Amino acid sequence: MGKTLENTFQHTPVLLNECLDGLNIKPDGIYVDGTLGGGGHSEEILKRLTTGKLYAFDKDEDALGFTSQKLAKYGDKIEFIKSDFKYMASVLNNIGVDSVDGILLDLGVSSYQIDTPERGFSYRFDGKLDMRMDKSAKLSAYDVVNTYSKEELIRILFNYGEESFAKPIVNKIIESRKLKNIETTGELVKLIESAVPKKFWGKGSVAKKTFQAIRIEVNGELDGLDKAIDEMIGLLSPHGRLAIITFHSLEDRIVKNIMKLHATDCICDKTIPFCVCNHHADGELVNKKPIEASKQEQEENKRSTSAKLRIFEKFE
């Protein structure tokens, strides 16, 4: 393909300055990057540490392999961990870390994963249907497309992709796989295009929502996200901060609701005249509204267009 591993990992971190400001980094602090990827955010955090430490999580062995070499110059300031960020609290507790000063999550798919055809994430390149962020995982996009029932596929496309043409797309998939299994991203794109009338195509690929939905299903991206955020807030030290970047409304809604819950005192039904829930806020929202990329960043990095950053700070 003419790309080296180094080329494919040239990833521009989204909302970089906003994340760094939001984390309010202390030189001697303990920080976690739950989604290491190409290491863009991590390296900038490391530059600001003196005696502090960064724990870098990723479940993609390619990302860990490349970025651990890229950031090797920072020595023992960084520790690399192959794990889904959803297990962050238990993994850190197992190595004796029970509180941290800041946690960063970038919930988008990495540029490397999208731009590598054989990883099967992209509707722009023809490659084997895969979409596994963790290549050792059993479930792949091939399995979802070729073995899920009609009802399951419609549910996934509608719920995870918010695809209004879920039924005709799934009908095309079911018809096609009766003849032969759907092997590649290119085959799937053609089926989607044949199911959606051209007058509804709009900007970008008509396959975008379907690919998003299948990717979310394959990687369980929404499963346990609320519980994981709860646990991360529990990990924060006094004045510690949690910064999360989302790229679609489903994730953003979960992040927004959990952070709001932790920033709210009484959560009783408003019709009850006095509080019976005994719920107390354990922190506050740093920004009431999500932070979005500037016009300049959106022009320079199209990936930032849909990005939203929410930041939570733990009380003392």
The predicted-structure confidence for 239-295, as pLDDT tens digits, reads as follows 999 999 999 999 999 999 999 999 999 999 888 888 999 999 999 999 999 999 999
Q: How many Å apart are CA 231 and CA 89, to the nearest integer? A: 6
* 122 pLDDT higher than 90: no
Q: Kindly tell me the sign of the dihedral angle through the C-alpha atoms of 197, 199, 205, 211.
A: negative
Q: What is the mean pLDDT of residues 138-151?
A: 98
Of the two residues 3 and 35, the one the predictor is more confident about is 35
Of the two residues 247 and 109, the one the predictor is more confident about is 247
- Return the pLDDT at 270: 84
Of the two residues 238 and 10, the one the predictor is more confident about is 238
Model confidence band, residue 115 (pLDDT cutoffs 50, 70, 90) = confident
Q: What is the mean pLDDT of residues 15-32?
A: 98
Q: What is the pLDDT of residues 224-254, one digit of tens each?
A: 999 999 999 999 999 999 999 999 999 999 9
Domains and CATH numbers, the chain: 5-107+222-314 (3.40.50.150), 122-219 (1.10.150.170)
Q: What is the pLDDT of residues 72-95, one digit of tens each?
A: 999 999 999 999 999 999 999 999
Between the alpha carbon of residue 188 and those of residues 14, 30, 116, the distances in Å are 29, 44, 17
Q: How many Å apart are CA 223 and CA 295, to the nearest integer? A: 33
**Averaged pLDDT score across all residues of the chain:** 94
Name residue 104's beta-bridge partners: 33, 243
* 9 pLDDT higher than 60: no
Helices (H), the chain: 5-8, 16-23, 40-47, 61-70, 88-94, 111-115, 141-147, 150-161, 166-179, 185-195, 208-219, 225-235, 249-262, 295-300
Q: How many Å apart are CA 309 and CA 13, to the nearest integer? A: 13
Name residue 310's beta-bridge partners: 244
C-alpha Rg value of the chain to the nearest Å: 21
**Residue 109 phi, psi (nearest 5):** -75, 140
